[in-house]
Structure 1
Amino acid sequence: MRRKLYFVLPNISTAHTMMDELLLDRIDENHIHFHAEKEQELGSLPKAVAMEKSDVIYSAMGGFLFGALFGLLGGVLAYMVPWWFGEVSLTVIPYCMVLGALACAAWAAAVATAAPSYRIRSYKGAIEQGNVLMIVSVPLRRLNEIRRRLVSRHPEAIYTGVWPAEHHLFP
């Protein structure tokens, strides 16, 4: 299980330094991403992917459920109104549900790529001022270690939290 740490960095040179330190801490490059207003300025730093910059997953899940519901209604309608659709068997209902779910999930995911993620939206002001957002996905067992190390070494970096939220388990 992994958690994402969010840091607002003042400039590109700090981003390069933190990237090097994370690589030395054995955090894979595939789990470190940066987001800036002008992404061409990031150079060789790994840029945030569409999954991190938008709510594609949540939108696809909502579209899947919404499409399955309307597919169910369409399948029941097709079965109940034989004079319109012709004689169909009861198997039309699951087919309509699957088709509706997949179509709506794909449509919702495509639409969601245009809107920023609710997590990224809170950093919009800092990004517009020229700061760089660093998103690091770390294993849960190393979360506190990596967070403490980065915060102590780089006081100029603003640590803004963990996603999903931190949970305290009772003993």
Structure 2
Amino acid sequence: MRHRLFYLLPDIDSARRALDDMLLNRIEVRHIHFMSERSPVPPDLPEANVLQKTDVVHGAQAGMLVGALLGMMVATGVVAYFDPVAKATLAIAITLAAMVFGGWAASMVAAALPNSRLKSFYPELDKGKLLMIVDVPARQVRKIEKVMADRHPEMRFAGEAAGVPVFP
């Protein structure tokens, strides 16, 4: 598992130095992302993607849950008119279809919303700071935190989220 570390940086130069330190500590560039509200992130810094900037993931999860529940309710009303063999298949198909549709519809709406998991960072981002999001292997978390604290006194450690999947 990986841990997601959040750092608030005061400016672009600090972000470039932090990126260099991450790369020197063998954190792959695909696990490092920067986010800014005021100005665009320069092309030499890896920018946070849509999944990290918006509420797509949270919206899809909520939509799939609501879709599955509504699908089960519709399925219980519809299957009463079919033979017993078709009831189970039809109920599962309706529930799955409603779950997929609910996840898709809710994620489309949530794509226009800022990430609710990052709402505590938005006041600082509005002031012109940058957010660095780094996915670090669990065994390297303390080492990275120490390196960043020692080499970047201008940066503020802003939190940690455990349980980030190893893949992508």
TM-score by length of 1: 0.87
CA contact (8 A) 1:7 1:135 kept: yes
C-alpha deviation, 1:41, in angstroms: 4.1
Which whole-Å CA distance do the structure 2 matches of 1:119 and 1:57 have between them? Answer: 10
Which whole-Å CA distance do the structure 2 matches of 1:51 and 1:63 have between them? Answer: 16
CA contact (8 A) 2:31 2:134 kept: yes
1:142 aligns with 2:140: yes
- CA distances 1:78-130 after superposition (whole Å, capped 9, x unpaired): 123x4xxxx57312211100100000011112222221122321111111111
Gap regions ≥5 residues in structure 2: 164-168
Identity level (%): 32
- Tell me the residue number matched to 2:50: 50
C-alpha deviation, 1:62, in angstroms: 2.0
Letter matched to residue 112 of structure 2: A
Which whole-Å CA distance do the structure 2 matches of 1:41 and 1:66 have between them? Answer: 36
**Aligned-pair RMSD on alpha carbons?**
1.7
TM-score by length of 2: 0.88
SS in 2 for 1:40: coil
Higher relative contact order (CA 8 A, sep 6+): 2
- Tell me the residue number matched to 1:96: 94
- Tell me the residue number matched to 2:59: 59
Structure 1 segment 16-165 matched on structure 2, within 5 A:
16-80=16-80, 82=81, 89-90=86-87, 91-164=89-162
Which whole-Å CA distance do the structure 2 matches of 1:126 and 1:79 have between them? Answer: 53
- CA distances 1:26-72 after superposition (whole Å, capped 9, x unpaired): 10000000000145342321111122123322322221121111111
Which whole-Å CA distance do the structure 2 matches of 1:130 and 1:100 have between them? Answer: 42
- Tell me the residue number matched to 1:6: 6
CA contact (8 A) 1:36 1:42 kept: no
Which whole-Å CA distance do the structure 2 matches of 1:100 and 1:41 have between them? Answer: 38
